[in-house]
Amino acid sequence: HKGELYYLLGLTKLESDPNNFNHILELARQALTLKRYEESIDLSLRLRDLAKTDAHARAFIRTNRPFNIDLEAEIYLLLSSAYLPLNRFADALEVAKQAALISPDRKEIIQCYANCEVVSGSLDKAYQTLYELLMEAPDYPAAQLLLAIIFC
């Protein structure tokens, strides 16, 4: 399987340079894709800690924005995406909130936050978040769908 081979390549890269922020980030993404949620969480937490303590990691975050998303917000998005299938809803909500605070202009991140509010049982907060999102992006289908689910 191609994804598994890419994952193994990522492990090899990480072994040769264990504090390389980009290698850890790629491996965290790949672990999530392969449904290795605990591993993705561990790698993402490592990224978060590196971002706080390592000057090279902070510089990497400031200068790299793949998909035009703040990398710190992406770390929290990775965490949220890995916590949800493990039914760790409170954890997912906490990190989704942090991502939304960092990147309030990214509809995908706001959508993730609203999803977490729904599964955490806060339909009013999810509704308000989606309402505000749809005022900015009225044709965003993911937000429309989640809003419809709230009203069911």
Tokens 């264990």 correspond to 18
Find the mean pLDDT for residues 51-60.
Answer: 71
Is pLDDT above 90 for 53?
no
Is 69 in a helix, a strand, or coil? coil
Which pairs from 92-95 meet CB under 8 Å and 24+ separation? 92/116, 92/119, 92/120, 93/117, 93/119, 93/120
Tokens 């072994």 correspond to 15
The pLDDT, as a whole number, for residue 35 is 97
The pLDDT, as a whole number, for residue 139 is 94
The pair of structure tokens assigned to 8 is 């193994």
The pLDDT, as a whole number, for residue 67 is 58
